[in-house]
């Protein structure tokens, strides 16, 4: 396997010193920034995440900040999700689409106030799309990338660890809500959210200078909780059906194909740039959609490109994320499957690098 | 050093099979695509590049295609370089700026015809900016990323190798011009250009399916020329002063700071979105600018973040790319230096991970 060649272009984060000291073994690049992928091994990291608590450097979830009188209008132009009922203190998962309804990103929108929003992005330079739209429509809004780096705290002991550092009030934060907490005299937004199904928080660390002090405070407070450095875990995210933009979907796909139709309020999301195209999609329904898939047999090799799904000699979809699940003793997978073969229980075959494997389209993800 | 974790999100290229068979040892990620960084070693690759001929997988230079009646107008909106005299068959190096004159990319524009352009991009999702502008200004133009992957042929024996595969007419292509050549019944644009100072070509491979056939044809034709797989070489590019977007400049910088003022025709590039800001910059001149810098002493460690340049206890700039040059027996570097210290011959100090080093601001790059 090849090494990653480091350079300034693959940006370090406020927590990189801590990540390195913790012995990171693998990196990916996400929004032109380093994202750890493994510390001990995918399986050891996974087991620990499900039992204890981990601190995740997810700085690569960069923020696009909208600020000004047209901020809310611009935010609604970007997404088919109806934002009218959204209050400050709430986080919404929002598909972002272009004029054809193709997905440009699947971020979390954070409403700080009526005229100030953060968009906590997946892996594409959404900043450039938002700046282009703001400029082209002559909106009265500033758009930029602030010095804000999310730090994840994930796992069943997250509440306990966070309460020790930020006080018991942190336990009251509800899912996809955020509140402000003090750390070293700085006010930080903390949300109950994160890219795992094990529960936890994301701290929006504003100001790189407090990155390592906060990292160290969490590790000092959590020694007896067996806190460790962690990262989004491939096994756990596939078991839980957490999609990855760029892996499981691209700008070729509509939200409906990604199973995100419930976030498309095309009749009421007035102003959304992709609304016309998505109205049409909503009427006709998608012809392919994301499905959980169990692949038979021994553990599959790493999936670094789409693997065709075939049935009766024809291509009926593709697998885009897969790995062996120790807890479910099967290869868990995420794939895009055509309408003709997407019913739960349908048997198909997957072209893996090791040859054809039998596979079953499932009703639900594993957790 | 950490390994790179492969996934579909870090896109493979039409030439990845060839790159792997050639024994690639290091990768970086560029436009969410794999870009090789080393085969044997940086120094062996460098020596070979300067003496023979290499085939480079630079598919990561993705194309943004503009097609339609407003294509030329849109292209001029993106850049302060005056494009009025540009003819089909020409390539122009064009800084791309936002409304404040901040650089969003430094690509090569390829004029296929009056109403069809490719922008061969550096590392940022320029597609999203261009789509946003086209949408916001309601331009009559289609903007997308076609299935076009550049393949570089670089080094002193490039003309000979290319002539064997495409015929002697390839020798007549002038610098930054392109012409069409046939390969397996397909018409391909071939330009005399590339990210080295050793001379060579870039083949715009249209259609992923002919990627490996072309790769194999080049290697078969060049056996006695000692053709090898190669990649942009850190040593050679710094010696030659080839800038790297994301390393040596970001959207914080104007073209003038990057020494690209000669590509800014702010008085005549009517329609350029950043023109007003750049007119101001052109009047006042930049207060910092990119300079070649020689760093004293033994070889420096890899530069994975900006290294402060100091003088008299004050920060006067930063080094963003540096490495040891075997041919010039010094550490060659690219840095951004303040006006007060940018005169050739100025002595400064650089904060390297190994401690402070003396350094000299130079007049010119090394080759």
Mean pLDDT value across chain B: 97
CATH label of the domain that carries residue B72: 3.30.70.1400
How far does the CA of residue B173 sit from the closest CA of chain A (Å)? Answer: 33
Domain boundary among A103, A126, A143: A143
Q: Indicate whether A30 belongs to any domain.
A: yes
Which H or E run includes B323? Answer: strand B314-325
List Cα–Cα distances, A343 to A218, A292, A297, A346, A347, in angstroms.
45, 11, 22, 6, 9
Alpha carbons A9 and A32: distance in angstroms, whole number: 7
Q: Indicate whether B151 belongs to any domain.
A: yes
Q: Which of A332, A231, A308, A304 is nearest to B7 (CA)?
A: A304
Residue numbers in B near A137 (CB within 8 A): 136
Q: Indicate whether A266 belongs to any domain.
A: no
pLDDT at B228: 98
Q: Which of A55, A166, A61, A56 is nearest to A109 (CA)?
A: A61
The answer to whether the CB atoms of A129 and B132 lie below 8 A apart is: yes
Work out the average pLDDT over A3-31.
98
Q: Could you say which residues from 339 to 358 on chain B have a Cβ atom under 8 Å away from some Cβ of chain A?
A: none
Centre a 10 Å sphere on the Cβ of residue A176 and count the other Cβ atoms it contains. 14
Q: Which of B320, B313, B317 is nearest to B343 (CA)?
A: B317
Burial of B223 from C-beta contacts in 10 A (0-12 / 13-18 / 19+)? exposed
pLDDT at A144: 98
Residue numbers in A near B211 (CB within 8 A): none
Residue B70 has pLDDT above 80, yes or no: yes
The answer to whether the CB atoms of A306 and B8 lie below 8 A apart is: yes
pLDDT at A189: 98
CATH label of the domain that carries residue B364: 2.40.30.110
Q: Indicate whether B47 belongs to any domain.
A: yes
Closest residue in chain A to residue B134, using alpha carbons only:
A136
Residue numbers in B near A10 (CB within 8 A): 28-29, 304
**Is B304 in the same domain as B339?**
yes
Is B242's Cβ below 8 Å from some Cβ in A? no
**Is B133 in the same domain as B195?**
no
pLDDT at A21: 98
pLDDT at B188: 98
**Is B212 in the same domain as B307?**
no
pLDDT at B172: 98
Domain that holds residue A20: 16-59+147-238
Closest residue in chain A to residue B124, using alpha carbons only:
A125
The answer to whether the CB atoms of A306 and B126 lie below 8 A apart is: no
**Is A47 in the same domain as A70?**
no
Residue A1 has pLDDT above 90, yes or no: no
pLDDT at B205: 98
pLDDT at B8: 98
Q: Which of A181, A6, A11, A191 is nearest to A108 (CA)?
A: A191
**Is B137 in the same domain as B195?**
no
Is B21's Cβ below 8 Å from some Cβ in A? no
pLDDT at A198: 98
Residue B293 has pLDDT above 90, yes or no: yes
Is A12's Cβ below 8 Å from some Cβ in B? yes
Indicate the pLDDT class of residue B273, thresholds 50, 70 and 90. very high
Q: Indicate whether B95 belongs to any domain.
A: yes
Interface contacts A/B by beta carbons within 8 Å: 164
Q: Indicate whether B261 belongs to any domain.
A: no
pLDDT at A288: 98
Alpha carbons A279 and A262: distance in angstroms, whole number: 13
Close Cβ partners of A41 (under 8 Å, ≥ 6 residues apart) = none
**Is B139 in the same domain as B177?**
no
Is B125's Cβ below 8 Å from some Cβ in A? yes
| Contact of A227 with A53, CB cutoff 8 Å | yes
The answer to whether the CB atoms of A136 and B133 lie below 8 A apart is: yes
**Is B57 in the same domain as B152?**
yes
Distance between start and end Cα atoms, chain B: 31
Domain boundary among B80, B111, B144: B144
Residue B126 has its nearest CB partner, among A128, A136, A245, at A128
Say whether pTM exceeds 0.90: yes
Alpha carbons B136 and B133: distance in angstroms, whole number: 5
The pLDDT tens digits for A127-165 are 999 999 999 999 999 999 999 999 999 999 999 999 999
CATH label of the domain that carries residue B177: 3.30.1360.120
Q: Indicate whether A273 belongs to any domain.
A: no
Residue numbers in B near A306 (CB within 8 A): 8
Three-state secondary structure call for residue A359:
strand
**Is A327 in the same domain as A215?**
no
**Is A123 in the same domain as A41?**
no
**Is A234 in the same domain as A350?**
no
Work out the average pLDDT over A15-34.
98
Residue numbers in B near A6 (CB within 8 A): 1, 302, 304
pLDDT at B365: 98
DSSP state string for A266-321: TTT-TT-TTHHHHHHHHHH--SEEEEEEEEPSSPPPP--SPEEEEETTEEEEEEEE
Q: ipTM more than 0.90? A: yes
Work out the average pLDDT over A108-124.
98
The pLDDT tens digits for B117-131 are 999 999 999 999 999
**Is A228 in the same domain as A165?**
yes
Residue numbers in A near B1 (CB within 8 A): 3-4, 6
**Is B362 in the same domain as B340?**
yes
Work out the average pLDDT over A305-316.
97
Residue A128 has its nearest CB partner, among B25, B128, B321, at B128
Indicate the pLDDT class of residue A201, thresholds 50, 70 and 90. very high
The total of structural domains in chain B comes to 3
Residue numbers in B near A104 (CB within 8 A): 128
Closest residue in chain A to residue B7, using alpha carbons only:
A304
Domain boundary among A143, A172, A202: A143
Q: Indicate whether B267 belongs to any domain.
A: no
Residue B354 has pLDDT above 80, yes or no: yes
Indicate the pLDDT class of residue A326, thresholds 50, 70 and 90. very high
């Amino acid at each position: 396997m090849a090494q990653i060649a480091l350079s300034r272009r693959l940006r370090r984060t406020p927590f990189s010193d801590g990540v390195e000291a913790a012995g990171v073994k693998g990196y990916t690049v996400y929004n032109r920034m380093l994202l750890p992928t493994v510390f001990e091994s995918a399986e050891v990291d996974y087991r620990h995440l499900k039992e204890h608590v981990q601190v995740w450097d997810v700085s690569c979830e960069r923020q696009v900040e909208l600020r000004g009188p047209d901020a809310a209008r611009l935010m609604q132009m970007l997404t088919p999700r109806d934002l009218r009922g959204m209050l400050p203190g709430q986080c919404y998962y929002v598909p972002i689409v272009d004029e054809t309804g193709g997905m440009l990103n699947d971020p979390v929108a954070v409403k700080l106030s009526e005229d100030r929003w953060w968009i906590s992005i997946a892996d594409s330079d959404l900043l450039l799309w938002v700046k282009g739209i703001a400029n082209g429509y002559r909106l009265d809004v500033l758009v930029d990338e602030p010095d804000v780096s999310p730090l994840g705290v994930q796992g069943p002991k997250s509440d306990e660890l966070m309460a020790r550092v930020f006080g018991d009030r942190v336990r009251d934060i509800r899912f996809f809500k955020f509140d402000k907490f003090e750390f070293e005299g700085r006010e930080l937004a903390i949300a109950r959210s994160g890219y795992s199904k094990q529960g936890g928080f994301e701290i929006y660390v504003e100001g790189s200078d407090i990155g390592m002090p906060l990292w160290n405070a969490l590790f000092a407070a959590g020694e007896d909780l067996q806190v460790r450095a962690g990262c989004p875990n491939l096994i756990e995210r596939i078991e839980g059906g957490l999609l990855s933009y760029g892996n499981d979907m691209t700008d070729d796909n509509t939200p409906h194909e990604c199973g995100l139709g419930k976030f498309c309020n095309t009749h009421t999301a007035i102003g959304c740039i992709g609304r016309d195209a998505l109205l049409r999609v909503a009427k006709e329904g998608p012809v392919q959609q994301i499905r959980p898939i169990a692949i038979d047999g021994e553990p599959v090799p790493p999936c670094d490109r789409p693997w065709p799904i075939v049935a009766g000699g024809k291509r009926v979809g593709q697998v885009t994320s897969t790995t062996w699940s120790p807890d479910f003793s099967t290869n868990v997978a995420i794939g895009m499957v055509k309408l003709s073969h997407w019913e739960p229980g349908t048997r198909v075959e997957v072209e893996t690098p090791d040859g054809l494997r039998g596979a079953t389209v499932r009703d639900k993800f594993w957790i």
